[in-house]
Amino acid sequence: MIIPKRLITQYDTSETLVMISLYPKKGERYSTGVSGLASYAKNVITPMNHLTIVLADYDKKPAIYKEGKTLVVRCFQTNSPFMWLDIFRTLIQFSHAKNVLIQHDFSVYGSMIVSALIVPFLTILRLFGFTISIVLHHVVTDIFKLAGHVGLKNTFFDRMRGHVYNILFKGFYTLVGVVSTNIVVLEESLKTRLSSVILKQKITTIPHGVDTSLTTIPKKDARTVLGIKKDDYVIMFFGFVNWFKGADFFADTFSDKSHILGKKIHGIIAGGESSTMKGRTYYQTFYNSVAKTVCSSPTLSMTGYILQEDIQTYFSAADLVVFPYRNCMTASGVLSLTFSYGKPFIISQPLDEMFEAQDFKKNMKELGLSIGDLTFDLKKESCLACTENILKNGLRDKMRNLSIQMRETRDYAKTAKEYQKLLSAPKHRWVVTPNPKLAKLYSAIGMLF
């Protein structure tokens, strides 16, 4: 794509930040059927106080437009073998904008091969003098913990395939660590995992931001829209229907539960097919199984994709948001929305790693909450007991207050400042590491950059 000279003149400065990412539709922040990574990218970049360029994906044809201080250049299609080449051709038209921030997740750019091609792309950028910061939204170090998510079965072939994947993931993170200036993760536990293959000094944790511009509407109004009585309980799972988020567990847990604490319940799966996985046979089998459970239950409903303007209605109607995740491989964008709307929530034990964050510890201590108050085993009885415990006593108010406090603590405006601080810091070519194996590897490759 050829950028008009007038736009290059306006945006091509040494202070300009270039971000490579999926991006919401023009004028939106939470586009239907688009990865949450896109919403995160826009929420991070919008509060920044300098010019920004976003090199983003397109559906049918390339496009260029402005949104505030941001120039959006839709120059690539996901899952194309030429994707990274298209980005590079666009990027080198800016001779002074050398600070690049990349949002990366294996599932959003296409196949594993297309996603892995980011390594030679990053290498070329470094050789051309670019400073590279990459946000790793997912960190996978043991693929067997995600077996159901990636379609691995307990066969000899799949076990061998899983071990190969683990080696490839480790190699990928090692190489990304070598060629990048900064690595950003969204949870402290993910930094700990990565530090075995990437210099710890290169890794920065910036907790997932919260959109404080979102507000609820009166619960009775939201329930009128949804056709739900004001005294019933609404228990919600929000997001794409997939295995690692536990959509099937939620459906199985609440499918035959008509009442809690004497009140009728409505279990809502507020989401639809995963936009990045819906073409895969094993995923369709999983999705159809969840849909069958929902259809056979008098208690459950599944909405399909939620339009941006309807997100407020569903969160406003909910009494409790449930996170039955099977693995903590990423920070939850849905949890961020739960904070935005100030809603009580419960989480599965695999997610309790997020309580390592200092702001979580501080806010929970102030409210007199313990991890045991809001976590459950991935067993039906444990989830139902935790649900009842939150709904029947003062814990629900405490959980609501926790969400409100986290909303203020993690305001995206503060997140943007953390990024600006990181991206403007002096860049050191190489950092001494106490790990002799990493030191040897970095010193051998480091002279290239």
User: What CA–CA distance (Å, rounded) separates 229 from 259?
Assistant: 14
Segment 161-201, tens digit of pLDDT: 999 999 999 999 999 999 999 999 999 989 999 998 999 99
CATH hierarchy code of domain 219-409: 3.40.50.2000
The backbone region for 27, taken as left when phi is positive above 0, alpha when psi lies in -120 to 50, beta otherwise, is left
State mean pLDDT over 349-359. 88
Q: What percent of the chain has pLDDT over 90?
A: 76
Q: What is the CA 37 to chain-centroid distance, rounded?
A: 5
What is the structure's pLDDT at 279?
Answer: 79
For the cut 90, the answer to whether the pLDDT of residue 270 exceeds it is: yes
Rounded alpha-carbon distances, angstroms, from residue 282 to 148, 205, 277, 285: 9, 34, 9, 5
Enter the pTM of the model. 0.88
What is the structure's pLDDT at 66?
Answer: 97
User: What CA–CA distance (Å, rounded) separates 348 from 246?
Assistant: 9
What is the structure's pLDDT at 446?
Answer: 43
What is the structure's pLDDT at 175?
Answer: 94
**Domain boundary assignment for the chain:** 5-209+415-446, 219-409
Tokens of 235: 């228990």
Phi, psi torsion values for 248, nearest 5 degrees: -70, -35
Tokens of 157: 């072939």
What is the structure's pLDDT at 266?
Answer: 97
Q: Give 27-92 as a DSSP string.
A: T-SS-TTS-HHHHHHHHHHTT-SS-EEEEEE-SSS-EEEEETTEEEEEEE-TT-TTHHHHHHHHHT
Segment 28-45, tens digit of pLDDT: 999 887 888 999 999 999
What is the structure's pLDDT at 203?
Answer: 96
For the cut 50, the answer to whether the pLDDT of residue 432 exceeds it is: no
For the cut 60, the answer to whether the pLDDT of residue 374 exceeds it is: yes
For the cut 80, the answer to whether the pLDDT of residue 441 exceeds it is: no
Q: How many CA atoms lie within 13 A of 332 on its CB side?
A: 32
3-state class (DSSP) for residue 425: coil
Amino acid at 215: T
Banded model confidence at residue 1, pLDDT cuts 50, 70, 90: confident
Alpha helix positions (H), 136-218: 147-150, 156-179, 188-194
Segment 386-414, tens digit of pLDDT: 999 999 877 999 999 999 999 999 999 99
Alpha helix positions (H), 318-394: 333-340, 358-367, 371-374, 380-392
What is the structure's pLDDT at 437?
Answer: 53
Banded model confidence at residue 430, pLDDT cuts 50, 70, 90: very low
Selected residue with higher pLDDT from 140 and 251: 251
Selected residue with higher pLDDT from 106 and 396: 396
The backbone region for 420, taken as left when phi is positive above 0, alpha when psi lies in -120 to 50, beta otherwise, is alpha
Burial class (CB in 10 A: 0-12, 13-18, 19+), 442: buried
What secondary structure letter does DSSP report for 201? G
For the cut 90, the answer to whether the pLDDT of residue 151 exceeds it is: no
User: What CA–CA distance (Å, rounded) separates 149 from 172?
Assistant: 20
Which option is the CATH number for 5-209+415-446: 3.40.190.10, 3.40.50.2000, 3.40.50.300, 1.10.150.120? 3.40.50.2000
Q: What percent of the chain has pLDDT over 70?
A: 95
Segment 66-79, tens digit of pLDDT: 999 999 999 999 98
Confirm if 448 and 127 have CB atoms less than 8 A apart. yes
Q: What is the CA 336 to chain-centroid distance, rounded?
A: 10
3-state class (DSSP) for residue 375: strand
Segment 295-348, tens digit of pLDDT: 999 999 999 989 889 999 999 999 999 999 998 888 888 999 999 999 999 999
Confirm if 68 and 49 have CB atoms less than 8 A apart. no
State mean pLDDT over 416-436. 69
Mean pLDDT, the chain, rounded, equals: 91
What is the structure's pLDDT at 427?
Answer: 58
What is the structure's pLDDT at 445?
Answer: 44
